[in-house]
Structure 1
Amino acid sequence: MTPVAIDLNADLGEGFGRWRLTEDEQLLSVVTSANVACGFHAGDPATMRRVCAWAAERGVRIGAQVSYRDLAGFGRRSMDVPPDELAAEVAYQIGALQVFARAAGAEVAYVKPHGALYNRIVHDDEQAEAVVQGVRLAGGRLPVLGLPGSRAHAAAGRAGLPVVTEAFGDRAYTARGTLVPRGEDGAVITDPAAVVERSVRLATSGTVDSLDGRPVAVRARSLCLHGDTRGAVELARRVREALEAAGVRVEAFV
């Protein structure tokens, strides 16, 4: 049997100015793909440049983590942005990161929306189309990372863009296979042992228990490890070690 392969991605560069949230350098020794904040929900030019350089040194793939323009709300507030404006803002964020990726001898390899935008384009066709148009405007055929079955993936497929399915070991799922909103009880899994167990199960069987206890199919090529959780580096190491012990091949999807 061919070994299962999974990519480990983390949201990095989520600071601004003197404020830093994620342990970028340490996490880049564990993950295979880095979702780099592009300045709209977090991140600034110096941070973007630094994270791209570290990622390139370690052979970690660089992804543009695009979001609504919402520094104050960390990109977790849904916004009704006109489609043409949203497409332009997505392209702008990708282009900004591409400058620093190329300066480091690498390229932006994929796009992953963040926070409220990520969840909105699971079900909103108009916003999903706008994000895809922004990716196309930025040039190339960048893969779009997101939830299986999302409207964003449907739009990307119609536009001829590759799609990559993603799962979360530390987030609760509904019975429909979507993420439980962060404002609800139990939305974030905080027990490290549970996160490790769920991550291995997602990678090996493509299933996870929903918040109400029912098994849900979530077949994904990439597994997200949130960089802003307490003890994120040690948890990421534990997840990777458990995956490899279970015979899972940990490697980037591009």
Structure 2
Amino acid sequence: MVIDLNADLGEGFGIWRLGDDLALLDIVSSANVACGFHAGDPVTIRRTCAAAVDRGVAIGAQVSYRDLAGFGRREMDVDPEELCAEVLYQLAAVDGIARAMGGRVSYLKPHGALYNRVVRDPVQAAAVVDAVLDYDASLPILTLPGSAVHAAAAEAEVPTVTEAFADRAYTPSGTLVSRREPGAVIDDPALVAERAVRMVVEGVVTAVDGSQVRVDARSMCVHGDTPGAVRLARAVRDGLLEAGVAIQSFA
């Protein structure tokens, strides 16, 4: 059994720092680098990409709505052409910096509200896929199984990689519980590790109503901004390795 372990990184801005990127880069196999629209800035992107290259960690462009004030977690109605252009802009910027540091962007992952929107909205999902087509149709998109972006990508022959979330609660339909709801984020390292192992080994996760939801994932996410993110990520990694699961980037 093999699984990729990804985390959202580079989410500082200016003098403001969020999370411990260097510590997480020693744990994960893929880094979702903020592109400057929900967090991140040129210096932060450069430092994060350089550190990822030094550690052999795959770099992904974590694209989002243009929403610094809301950390990209406010849903927006954006014209599809505009959304496509903004995703393309973010992808090209981070890939350019990554290449200057000796690496490259090897996948794309929407962030926050955009991630959840393209799970169910075929119009915005198609706009994200169109941006990948414009830039490099071989780049995989990280998404939930059965999402609208998964369907749009399949139609356009753009690859997708399904992921699961170790530190987020699930609804009975297999989507993520809104962060506005209590219990949406799980911060107990032992519980997060247990859920991650079960998702990988058994292919199931317990939803908020107690039902068992099927999970088919090639990548496991631990959020870099969750309180105690480094402890959570290390617990997940240790739990997976103890269960005989190898950690390796899909890229």
- Shorter-normalised TM-score: what interval? over 0.9
Are 1:47 and 2:37 an aligned pair?
no
The answer to whether the aligner puts 1:26 opposite 2:41 as a matched pair is no
Residue type matched to 2:7 in 1? A
Aligned: 1:36 with 2:33: yes
Match of 2:90 in 1: 93
Kept after mapping to 2: 8 A contact 1:92/1:138: no
Match 1:156 to one of 146, 153, 156: 153
Greater shift, 133-142 or 90-99, is seen at 133-142
Q: Distance in 1 between matches of 2:177 and 2:233?
A: 22
Aligned twin of 2:130: 133
Equivalent residue letter for 1:199 = A
TM, length-normalised to structure 2: 0.99
Give the Cα separation in 1 of the matches to 2:50 and 2:198: 33
Q: Deviations over 1:197-232 (max 9, x none)?
A: 001101111100000000000110000011111211
Q: Is the 8 A contact 2:206 2:213 kept in 1?
A: yes
Count of matched residue pairs: 251
Q: Take 2:75 and 2:82, find their aligned partners in 1: how far apart are those partners?
A: 15
Give me the whole-angstrom Cα distance separating, in 2, the residues matched to 1:197 and 1:141. Answer: 34
Runs of 4+ in 1 over 3 A off after TM superposition: none
Counterpart in the other structure of 2:233: 236
Q: Distance in 1 between the 2:32 and 2:60 partners?
A: 5
Distance in 2 (CA, whole Å) between partners of 1:98 and 1:56 is 12
User: What is the DSSP-based 3-state SS (H/G/I as helix, E as strand, rest coil) of the residue aligned with 2:220?
Assistant: strand
Q: CA deviation at 1:190?
A: 2.1
- Give the match's secondary structure for 2:205: strand
Identity of aligned residues (%): 64
Q: Which residue matches 1:108?
A: 105
Amino acid corresponding to residue 185 of structure 2 in structure 1: V
Report the AA paired with residue 200 of structure 1: V
State the alpha-carbon separation in 1 of the partners of residues 27 and 186 from structure 2.
20
Match of 2:175 in 1: 178
SS in 2 for 1:98: helix
Root-mean-square deviation (CA), in Å? 0.7
Partners of 1:138 and 1:94 lie apart in 2 by: 8
> Following the alignment from structure 1 to structure 2, what is the Cα–Cα distance between the partners of residues 70 and 217?
33
Tell me, yes or no, if structure 1 residue 57 matches structure 2 residue 65: no
Amino acid across the alignment from 1:73: G
Counterpart in the other structure of 2:198: 201
Deviation of residue 140 (structure 1)?
4.0
Deviations 1:47-92 (A, max 9, x none): 0000000000110000000000000000000000000000000000
TM-score w.r.t. length of structure 1: 0.97
Equivalent residue for 1:68, pick from 57, 65, 68: 65
For residues 21 and 230 of structure 2, the distance between their equivalents in structure 1, rounded to whole angstroms, comes to 9
CA shift, 1:234, in A, is 1.9
The answer (yes or no) to whether the contact 2:140–2:161 under 8 Å persists in 1 is: yes
- Tell me which residue corresponds to 1:214: 211
What does residue 11 of structure 2 align with? Answer: 14
| Structure 1: unaligned runs, 5 residues or longer | none
